């Protein structure tokens, strides 16, 4: 087993560190956020991710996993350093802010030793790895290697995706540089996971292309959802029917309020901005459309709410879901919270419910009302908005909740609630891209 360091303990770094420890490696994880390190060292996960808290505690108990505030301590016992810091959007151009990468590398330089390998996992614009590699060559000749190993985990399924990924992509300058990482991922590779060893630029672009494709698929179906609305067609049946075609596939074809989170939106903007820099604006203009279609989904729900309620002011609106996706408390660029905030600005009395994200909502959106139970959210509501696809909401008993609301009206922003039980309980249910019931 190998000794590893992990630099940056956000969603990606914490998951990676705990999963690598669960495979038997000795992992020392470092972050500049001392509070975060303190929480993690005591076994407290600062965010919600199914199965991760258990791995974290198991790693701490066996001593395979430790969290430190001293970078030299993290790096000294190890030759492999996973770089997992954030790469948020820098500005309106969509460019990536690479300052966390730059700061991490310039701090790591003091503790790198000949024979070390840095493994970049953060999502970066194409060309970044080459720049880092050149910087390392200037400082260490060829003594310190770089591998770019983009991460494809999905929040909510992060543990499974880290331990059993669909593929492992390793961008390298020399083929043999990948061997040391293949050793770290040996258990996964033995399961038959494909390993793609390629150059830096291809590795970086695999990640950008995967996210751009997924975002495009979502906006594609959402554009069709509007078309279905205008002609009275049904987007779910349409998606099922085209999804049977194995060239298309059914996944990522659920029409609704669109995508959000800390990755897809910023990643497609970063790709577009990089393509602009490379003189390929025309070829990648479609990503602006993908982004715009996605943003309009949020406005569409607002318009529907206004159509149904007339004047929004003082209307009581329950919002089901705050996180950008189920099984996560990540509220970064959450469509549900954009909608909740806009309704609040229009004078509505908003009550947000979420199975796990309420502490994050209270912290970052203190202006919004929140409810700890679904019943409390429904009480006296003029309208219910179902905005995040938690299974809890699909299990709601519409008969019981019918008695709590002022008006039995629900907009299903995810198109997953079964119409029969809601309608027979006396509710009007409005979908996006399919006839209301």
Residue 351 bridge partners (DSSP): 318, 369
Q: Which is nearer to ligand NAD, 8 or 369 (CB)?
A: 8
Residue 162: name the closest of 330, 13, 19, 58 by CA: 19
Smallest separation (angstroms) from ligand NAD to the CB of 326: 14
Does 31 sit near ligand NAD (CB under 6 A)? yes
* Binds ligand NAD (CB under 6 A): choice among 7, 348, 384, 411: 7
In 320-424, where does DSSP find H-type helix?
335-345, 358-364, 374-378, 391-394, 398-402, 419-424
Q: Which stretch binds ligand NAD (CB under 6 A): 8-16, 238-246, 290-298, 426-434?
A: 8-16
Smallest Cα–Cα separation from 14: which of 269, 330, 332, 325? 330
Out of 37, 52, 85, 410, the residue judged to bind ligand NAD by CB under 6 A: 85
Distance CA 95, CA 272 (A): 8
Residues 246-285, mask of contacts with ligand NAD (x by CB under 6 A): ----------------xx----------------------
* In the complex, residue closest to ligand NAD by CB: 10
Length of the chain: 437
Q: How many residues bind ligand NAD (CB under 6 A)?
A: 27
User: What mask, x for binding ligand NAD by CB under 6 A, covers residues 320 to 359?
Assistant: ----------------------------------------
> What's the closest the beta carbon of residue 410 comes to ligand NAD, in angstroms?
30
Stretch touching ligand NAD by CB under 6 A, among 102-110, 167-175, 288-296, 368-376: 102-110
Nearer to ligand NAD, 104 or 318 (CB): 104
Which single residue is written with the structure tokens 């189920």? Answer: 326
- The rounded distance, in Å, linking the Cα atoms of 322 and 386 is 10
DSSP 372: S
Complex with ligand NAD: residue 100 or 188, whichever CB lies closer: 100
Helix (H) or strand (E) holding 430: strand 428-431
Which residue, 101 or 221, is less far from ligand NAD as judged by CB? 101
Cα 35–chain centre separation: 23
263 is catalytic: yes
Among 21, 67, 86, 398, binds ligand NAD (CB under 6 A): 86
Q: How many whole angstroms separate alpha carbon 332 and alpha carbon 337?
A: 9
Q: Are the C-beta atoms of residues 104 and 110 closer than 8 Å to each other?
A: no
**Does 36 engage in binding with ligand NAD (CB under 6 A)?**
yes
Q: Does 288 engage in binding with ligand NAD (CB under 6 A)?
A: no
Applying CB under 6 A, among 104, 203, 264, 340 the residue interacting with ligand NAD is: 104
Binding track over 132-161 against ligand NAD, x by CB under 6 A: -------------------x-x-x------
Residue 401 and residue 337 in contact, taking contact as beta carbons nearer than 8 Å: no
Contact with ligand NAD (CB under 6 A) among 5, 22, 117, 122: 122
Considering the complex, what minimum distance in angstroms separates the CB of residue 418 from ligand NAD? 30
Q: Distance between CA atoms of 405 and 396, rounded to whole angstroms?
A: 14
Candidates 29-37, 283-291, 293-301, 302-310: pick the segment binding ligand NAD (CB under 6 A).
29-37
Q: Which of 123, 178, 208, 294 binds ligand NAD (CB under 6 A)?
A: 123
Q: Is 174 exposed, middle or buried (0-12, 13-18, 19+ CB in 10 A)?
A: exposed
Instruction: Work out how close the CB of 70 gets to ligand NAD at its nearest, in angstroms, rounded to a whole number.
Output: 11
Token pair 């969603």 in the structure block, residue: 11
Gap between the Cα atoms of 102 and 95, Å rounded: 15
CB nearer to ligand NAD: pick between 60 and 268:
268
> Helix and strand tally (H, E) in the chain?
20, 14
Q: What is the DSSP string of 145-176?
A: EEEE------TTSHHHHHHS-S-EEEE-SSGG
DSSP tag of 216: H
C-alpha–C-alpha distance, residues 11 and 365, integer Å: 21
Q: In this structure, are residues 145 and 129 in contact, taking their beta carbons and an 8 Å threshold? A: no
How far apart are CB 171 and ligand NAD at their closest, in Å?
Answer: 15
- Residue 405 beta carbon to ligand NAD: minimum distance, rounded to whole angstroms: 35
Among the listed ranges 61-69, 82-90, 234-242, 343-351, the one in contact with ligand NAD (CB under 6 A) is: 82-90
> Under a CB-based contact definition with an 8 Å cutoff, are residues 382 and 309 in contact?
yes
In the numeric block, which tokens belong to residue 424?
């027979």
Catalytic residues: 263
Interaction site with ligand NAD (CB under 6 A): 7-13, 30-33, 36, 84-87, 100, 103-104, 107, 122-123, 151, 153, 155, 262-263
């Amino acid at each position: 087993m190998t000794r590893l360091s992990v630099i940056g303990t956000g969603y990606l770094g914490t998951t990676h560190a705990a999963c690598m420890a669960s495979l038997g490696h000795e992992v020392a994880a470092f972050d500049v956020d001392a509070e975060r390190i303190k929480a993690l060292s005591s076994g407290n996960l600062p965010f919600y991710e199914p199965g991760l808290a258990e791995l974290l505690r198991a790693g701490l108990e066996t001593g395979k996993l430790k969290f430190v505030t001293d970078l030299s301590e993290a790096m000294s016992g190890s030759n492999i350093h996973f770089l997992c810091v954030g790469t948020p959007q820098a500005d309106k151009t969509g460019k990536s802010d690479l300052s966390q990468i730059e700061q991490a590398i310039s701090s790591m330089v003091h503790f790198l030793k000949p024979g070390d390998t840095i493994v970049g996992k953060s999502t970066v614009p194409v060309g970044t790895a080459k720049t880092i590699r050149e910087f390392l060559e200037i400082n260490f000749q060829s003594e310190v290697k770089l591998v770019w190993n983009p991460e494809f985990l999905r929040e909510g399924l992060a543990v499974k995706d880290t331990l059993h990924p669909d593929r492992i992509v390793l961008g390298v300058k020399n083929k043999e540089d990948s061997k040391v990482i293949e050793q770290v991922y040996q258990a996964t590779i033995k399961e038959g996971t494909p390993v793609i060893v390629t150059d830096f630029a291809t590795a970086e672009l695999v990640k950008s292309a995967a996210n751009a494709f997924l975002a495009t698929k979502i906006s594609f179906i959402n554009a069709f959802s509007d078309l279905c609305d205008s002609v009275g067609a049904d987007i779910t049946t349409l998606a099922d029917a085209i999804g049977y075609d194995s060239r298309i596939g059914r996944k990522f074809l659920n029409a609704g309020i669109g995508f959000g989170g800390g990755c897809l939106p910023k990643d497609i903007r970063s790709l577009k901005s990089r393509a602009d820099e490379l003189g390929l604006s025309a070829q990648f203009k479609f990503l602006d459309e993908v982004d715009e279609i996605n943003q309009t989904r949020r406005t569409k729900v607002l318009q529907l709410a206004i159509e149904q309620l007339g004047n929004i002011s003082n209307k009581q609106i329950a919002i089901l879901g705050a996180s950008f996706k189920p099984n996560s408390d990540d509220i970064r660029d959450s469509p549900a919270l954009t909608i909740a905030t806009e309704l609040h600005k229009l004078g509505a009395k908003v009550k947000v419910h979420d199975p796990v994200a309420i502490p994050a909502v209270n912290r970052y959106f203190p202006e919004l009302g929140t409810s700890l139970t679904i019943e409390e959210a429904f009480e006296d509501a003029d309208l219910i908005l179902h905005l995040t696809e938690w299974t809890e909401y699909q299990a709601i008993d519409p008969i019981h909740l019918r008695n709590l609301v002022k008006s039995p009206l629900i907009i299903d922003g995810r198109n997953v609630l079964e119409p029969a039980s809601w309608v027979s309980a006396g509710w009007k249910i409005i979908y996006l891209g399919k006839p209301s019931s």
